[in-house]
Amino acid sequence: MDVVATIRERSVITRLLLGLGCLLLAMAAQAGEVYQGKVGRMPVVMTLDASSDGTVSGRYFYRKYRKDIPLSGKWEGKNLLLSEGWNNSEPEKIAMRLERAGNGLRGEWVGKKPISIVLTIVDGRAIQIPDPVLASWRQRDPYELLRLEGLSLKTNKSEPFQGYGLQWLQEPQSNITLFRITSGLPAEQLGKLNHVLADRQWSEVASYFQCMSSPMGGEFDQTVTPHLISPNLLSASIFTGYFCGGAHPDFGDSPLNIDVATGEVLALEDLLWVGSGAPVKFDKKSYDPAESDYKAKSLAPWIVKEFQRLYPNEMVPDPEECNYADPSVWEYASWYMTENGIVLDPSFPRVERNCELTEWSILPWSVIKQHPGRLSRLIP
């Protein structure tokens, strides 16, 4: 899963990270060294990030279980002392004592019976992985790649959808399931689309194991619903109900919208633009103030006005519950495409989550054509 989310975005990705807690967010954002080796006879993978003051943070997992265990510690002379655990309020208890050895770390597990630890730094480029989609993770995220190493996808049902053939594939440990397109498009387009679909599926599998790393255990149930496949567009909802720690379970939809010709994942402004001037491609890798400004001052008020025209009964202002006339709930709406238009799903605070998943809130393609985004050629 992408762990860098905008400050204000309230998509399912943000909710997942909040559910995992601040510690997991910090761990997932690390860009430290990755190691693999053994604790005793048990194969492990570890990532460590050292600060300038000598403190170290990180995580590791046993390959058998694939679940993260957080680490924190510091260098004391030539020794790296590491503690593990989720609750930072507890007194630190040293679990590992390591020192540098060649291109890795060597030491022991501290306990009644010391256990040897041997770790070698990982060169992502050298990871042998037969899956061509996961091969691209060698540089992007070798830690998660090694977590996924050894997993495979099993063939599930096949079915027709809107004139295209779908083959569903499932990862058995997580039960994460997603389709591939088998017919109805040229081979080159099928290759691009299925590469994007496979990459998303493996990202969801990684998110599953991150969620399961919660000290209380986790729940992560996902349903994928295709909504539109055409010569230009593909759209599917990826709805997840999860509990990854925190006070309450949660849920959310994180749809996948793709340009069929290029395999590019689409942003709403690619199809719909209601700002001044030419449509803009915002930076999706980090918080973009220009995007936030556009959504707050242009997009959300326009959506409210348009829905008040299209759906006056649903848009009656209600300050007590489900106030769809409040522009802020539409600023970071998730969205998916259908044959009739774009469905926008508002984003409410946790106490009003029952107000989401509004299937009525559809912008017809006839309206979108009047306000085309930068990829207007895709609009049906």
Cα separation, 2 vs 210, in Å, equals 12
Give residue 1's pLDDT.
37
Give residue 287's pLDDT.
86
Identify the residue with better confidence: 64 or 20: 64
Work out the mean pLDDT of the chain and round it to a whole number. 88
What's the pLDDT tens digit per position in 162-204? 999 999 999 999 999 999 999 999 999 999 999 999 999 999 9
Query: Mean pLDDT, to the nearest integer, of 354-369?
Result: 95
Give φ, ψ of 220 to 5 degrees.
-155, 95
Give residue 31's pLDDT.
56
CA atoms within 13 A on the CB side of 262: 8
Identify the residue with better confidence: 366 or 349: 366
H/E stretch holding 115 reads strand 115-121
pTM of the shown model? 0.87
Give residue 285's pLDDT.
80
Nearest to 234 by CA among 212, 209, 255, 203: 255
Give φ, ψ of 28 to 5 degrees.
-65, -25
Query: Mean pLDDT, to the nearest integer, of 106-118?
Result: 92
Identify the residue with better confidence: 129 or 22: 129
For residue 70 the two structure tokens come to 């957080």
Strands (DSSP E) found in 203-312: 219-229, 233-243, 250-253, 256-259
Identify the residue with better confidence: 94 or 27: 94
What's the pLDDT tens digit per position in 322-351? 999 999 999 999 999 999 999 999 999 877
Give φ, ψ of 328 to 5 degrees.
-65, -25
63-72, 74-83, 245-254: range with lowest mean pLDDT: 245-254
Residue at 102: amino acid letter: G
Residue 52 binned pLDDT confidence (cut-offs 50, 70, 90):
confident
28-37, 166-175, 210-219: range with lowest mean pLDDT: 28-37
